[in-house]
Amino acid sequence: MLPRLAIRPLVQAVRHGSHSSGTHGFKLAKFQGQTPTGFINDGWAMSRLPFFARNKWFFAVKAVAFLAAGFWAPFFVVEYQLRKANQ
């Protein structure tokens, strides 16, 4: 009776936690898909952008204005300095 009480739980643990089951005795967490409003947004398009880009035409105008301002700023500064020097 004593060997049966000692060996049976051991055998059951080996059967349920064997390497052939694929889980190695651990229960896997249930997978929950990512949502656009969830805490983690990895893998969602435009999830990590620091600006709103839903309207593509309005975004294009803002992007061109932003990039053009950075490109033309040195030319405006040089023109201002030359006009100031000629006065």
Q: Read out DSSP for 33-81?
A: ---TTSS--TTSTTSS-SS--SSHHHHHHHHHHHHHHHHHHHHHHHHHH
pLDDT at site 52:
75
Which residue ranges in the chain fall short of pLDDT 50? none
pLDDT at site 27:
63
pLDDT at site 55:
85
Model's pTM, two decimal places?
A: 0.38
pLDDT at site 85:
95
pLDDT at site 76:
94
